[in-house]
């Protein structure tokens, strides 16, 4: 099986698809349902965000708290006894109705108040996929605090870089992850409380979730937050420096809700599975907030990845809408199509992908495996919600990210901000001001401002647009790495590497990989007295894994005598990457040592 990582269509070429299954699905009356958005062009033309305020039970001038939209209004209405969450753990299953989720999150908001959490305080979740994530996340919002999540694979250093920077007041964690918080606790002076979920006994120096929840009242008057008040914050990586805290406002719920409705096509009767972890923005916007706002039933699957486990989950829980990622799809493809025949996926209605380029082969094979095409969606931590996507009602061009959501304007611009025409490659940009756009970057206005120029928000991606307005991804414009769909900054990995006693200097790049999209590759020079060996390689890998993150370690390491640097001493990752890929090195006039 050949997998190309990037779309293979040529510019302007009409989609010629060998697999006619899609035509059957799309054109011969196989679209068995009427999507929530039946006609893209029509919806785009007349669209005004204001027309949808009332669907959130909100009007300008009124306070807006996402927890009201996501849970309270359902709990107080006809949806009260509808299942909000089906949790599937290793050996357990638990269901929560909207009413139960509302009352539990009220309790949690009371716990937060008891420990002095105030409006605007940053409260972190560093915990595996358990129902307490939903309870705590909504409780934090009810208390008017800012919810922030950390990926469970993070090591102590990664925790410190985020909680320390945000001056987090509380970390909610579990017994296994707690050690990683403890390891760096003295370096996070603002951190007052560590709250542990699911511990058998109360752990010294911590607050017990179970004990506090039992004692807390389930009545709580929600903080009257304003639409522009901060709601959640998420750390994300760029080319340089440590990860930055992207702040989202309560108003983002409008776009999270609308895209859940019109892109994911969610309805209250759906059983919906988003495979993303809540440590990433997809897990928040489409694992928690958007789908709850629609009033749908969310499946929360805690287990690990395996084709059998995933297929059984789709079948057993009668999933109707599924949102996943290209690496997962490629891993399923690797297991072959035959095993899909053992399962019944007939409840599935629409399937989606995000995070990295969705190769046309994945859509083709998806059609064979599930009888449905994956719909690609493009967005970013910073955009807060889906931006350019494929819609059930719109013809997919295999390999294209689709078209901008109604209410949004996207374009391709050159480096001076001039908009380019069809088929011209350039920087993917959007007109700023959409509801879910980040409101600031924590204590880093300069970084925030750097996204905006000449009336555009620049995404950091290279792309092009065809004459019919479909957008096509080319690659990142910067050094950000996407490995298994997870965003990793080379600087973070380099910093972790040079903390190892044997490493003198390190340069880190993303290397194309047929399954993971990219893998992290490091080039290392060693300190005097250390010699390259496989054992040392492995030791360095383990060191980064433990310290930084299990997903952010270099799968490949090359020991080199020197690294290409600019005269000012900056390592030129671009040169490392070109050499690795056997591509022309380009302009090296600023290179130090040639």
Q: Site residues (CB under 6 A) for ligand WT7?
A: 236, 281-282, 354-357, 376-381, 401, 459-461, 473, 476, 482, 487
In the 8-state DSSP scheme, what is residue 160? I
Residue whose CB is less far from ligand WT7, 36 or 381? 381
Report the run of H or E that residue 370 belongs to, with start and end.
helix 360-370
Nearer to ligand WT7, 281 or 351 (CB): 281
Residue 54: how many CA atoms within 13 Å on its side-chain side? 1
Q: Is the CB of 75 or the CB of 480 nearer to ligand WT7? A: 480
Nearer to ligand WT7, 223 or 479 (CB): 479
> Closest separation between CB of residue 63 and ligand WT7, Å?
28
Nearer to ligand WT7 (CB atom), residue 36 or residue 377: 377
Cβ-based nearer residue to ligand WT7, 121 or 376: 376
CB of 198 to ligand WT7, least distance (A): 28
Q: Which is nearer to ligand WT7, 118 or 431 (CB)?
A: 431
Chain-centroid distance of CA 368 in Å reads: 27
Q: How far is the CB of 459 from ligand WT7 (least distance, A)?
A: 5
Burial string for 396-435 (b: 16+ CB within 10 Å, else e) reads bbbbbbbbbbbbbebbbbeeeeeebeeeeebbbbbeeebb
Contact between residue 399 and residue 359 where contact means Cβ atoms under 8 Å apart: yes
User: 393 near 261, Cβ under 8 Å?
Assistant: no
| Least distance CB 400 / ligand WT7 (angstroms) | 9
User: What residues contact 372, with CB distance under 8 A and at least 6 apart?
Assistant: 25, 348, 349, 350, 351, 366
**Nearest-approach distance from CB 438 to ligand WT7, in angstroms:** 10
The minimum distance between CB 363 and ligand WT7, in angstroms, equals 12
Q: Is 88 helix (H, G, I), strand (E, B) or coil?
A: strand
- Name the residue nearer to ligand WT7 (CB basis): 460 or 532: 460
Give the closest residue to 457 by CA, choosing from 379, 535, 399.
379
Closest CB 336 distance from ligand WT7, rounded Å = 25
Strands of 331-419 (E only): list them.
Answer: 350-354, 374-378, 388-389, 400-404, 410-413
Give the span between the Cα atoms of 400 and 365, in whole angstroms: 16
Say which residues have a Cβ less than 8 Å from residue 66's Cβ, sequence separation at least 6: 141, 231, 250, 252, 253, 289, 293
- The minimum distance between CB 340 and ligand WT7, in angstroms, equals 23
Under a CB-based contact definition with an 8 Å cutoff, are residues 442 and 166 in contact? yes
CB 492 within 8 A of CB 548: yes
Residue 310 or 473 with smaller CB distance to ligand WT7: 473
Residue closer to ligand WT7, measured from CB, 270 or 376: 376
Which residue's CB is nearer to ligand WT7, number 74 or number 375?
375
Q: How far is the CB of 359 from ligand WT7 (least distance, A)?
A: 10
Place of tokens 């753990």: 89
User: Taking the complex as a whole, how short is the minimal distance between the CB of residue 392 and ligand WT7, in angstroms?
Assistant: 16
Sequence-separated contacts (24+) of 310-314 with Cβ below 8 Å:
310/275, 311/339, 311/340, 311/342, 311/343, 311/345, 312/343, 313/88, 313/273, 314/273, 314/343, 314/345, 314/348
| Minimum separation from the CB atom of position 137 to ligand WT7 (A) | 18
Of residues 165 and 382, the one with the C-beta less far from ligand WT7: 382
Our CA angle for 121, 123, 127, nearest 5°, is 175
Which tokens go with 591?
Answer: 């290179």
DSSP labels for 461-495? EEEEE-TTS-EEEEEESSS-EEETTEEE-HHHHHH
Nearest distance from C-beta of residue 533 to ligand WT7, angstroms: 35
Q: How far is the CB of 285 from ligand WT7 (least distance, A)?
A: 8
User: Is the CB of 216 or the CB of 438 nearer to ligand WT7?
Assistant: 438
Q: First CA to last CA across the chain, in angstroms?
A: 41
List the one residue out of 213, 215, 221 whose CA is nearest residue 196: 213
- Dihedral (C-alpha) 311, 316, 319, 322: value to the nearest 10 degrees? -20
**What's the farthest any 2 CA atoms get from each other in the chain?**
72
């Amino acid at each position: 099986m050949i997998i190309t990582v990037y779309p293979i269509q040529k510019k302007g070429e009409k989609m010629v698809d060998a697999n006619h299954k899609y035509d059957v699905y799309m054109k011969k009356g196989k679209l068995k349902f009427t999507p929530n958005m039946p006609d893209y062009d029509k919806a785009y033309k007349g669209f005004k965000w204001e027309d949808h305020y009332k669907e959130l039970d909100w009007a300008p001038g009124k306070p807006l708290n996402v927890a009201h939209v996501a849970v309270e209004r359902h709990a107080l209405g006809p949806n009260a006894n509808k299942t909000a969450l089906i949790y599937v753990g290793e050996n357990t299953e638990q269901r929560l109705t909207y009413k139960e989720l509302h009352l539990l999150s009220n309790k949690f908001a009371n716990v937060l108040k008891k420990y002095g959490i105030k409006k605007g305080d940053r409260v972190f979740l560093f915990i595996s996929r358990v129902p307490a994530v939903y309870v705590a996340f909504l409780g934090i919002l009810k208390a008017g605090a800012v919810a922030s999540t950390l990926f469970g694979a993070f090591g102590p250093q990664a925790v410190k870089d985020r909680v320390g920077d945000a001056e987090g007041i509380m970390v909610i964690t579990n017994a296994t992850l707690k050690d990683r918080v403890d390891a760096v606790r003295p370096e996070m002076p603002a951190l007052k409380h560590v709250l542990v979920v699911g511990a058998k006994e109360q752990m010294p120096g911590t607050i017990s979730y179970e004990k506090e929840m039992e004692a807390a009242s389930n009545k709580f008057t929600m903080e009257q937050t304003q639409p522009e008040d901060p709601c959640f914050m998420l750390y994300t990586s760029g080319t340089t420096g440590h990860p930055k805290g992207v702040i989202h406002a309560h108003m983002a719920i409008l776009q999270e809700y609308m895209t859940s409705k019109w892109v994911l096509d969610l309805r209250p009767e759906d059983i919906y599975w988003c495979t993303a972890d809540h440590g990433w923005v997809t897990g928040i916007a489409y694992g928690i907030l958007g789908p709850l706002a629609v009033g749908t039933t969310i499946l929360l699957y805690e287990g690990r990845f395996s084709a059998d486990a995933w297929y059984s989950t789709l079948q057993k829980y009668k999933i109707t809408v599924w949102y996943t990622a290209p690496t997962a799809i490629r891993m399923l493809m690797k297991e072959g199509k035959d095993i899909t025949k053992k399962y019944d996926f007939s409840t599935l209605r629409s399937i989606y992908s995000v995070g990295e380029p969705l190769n046309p082969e994945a859509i083709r094979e998806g059609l064979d495996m599930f009888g449905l095409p994956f719909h690609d969606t493009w967005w970013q931590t910073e955009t807060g919600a889906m931006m350019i996507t494929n819609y059930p009602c719109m013809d997919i061009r295999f390999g294209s990210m689709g078209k901008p959501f109604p209410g949004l304007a996207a374009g391709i611009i050159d480096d001076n901000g001039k908009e380019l025409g069809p088929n011209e490659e350039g920087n993917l940009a959007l007109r700023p001001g959409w509801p879910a756009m980040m409101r600031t970057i924590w204590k880093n206005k300069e970084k925030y401002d750097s996204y905006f120029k000449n009336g555009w928000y620049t995404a950091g991606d290279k792309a092009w647009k065809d004459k019919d307005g479909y957008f096509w991804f080319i690659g990142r414009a910067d050094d950000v790495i996407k490995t298994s769909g997870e965003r990793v900054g080379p600087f973070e990995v380099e910093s972790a590497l040079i903390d190892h006693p044997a490493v003198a200097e390190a340069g880190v790049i993303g290397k194309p990989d047929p399954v993971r999209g990219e893998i992290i590759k490091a080039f290392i020079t060693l300190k005097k007295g250390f010699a390259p060996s496989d054992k040392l390689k492995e030791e360095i890998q383990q060191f980064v894994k433990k310290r930084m993150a299990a997903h952010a370690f270099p799968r490949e390491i090359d020991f080199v005598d020197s690294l290409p640097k600019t005269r000012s001493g900056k390592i030129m990752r671009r040169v490392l990457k070109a050499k690795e890929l056997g591509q022309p090195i380009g302009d090296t006039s600023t290179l130090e040592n040639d």
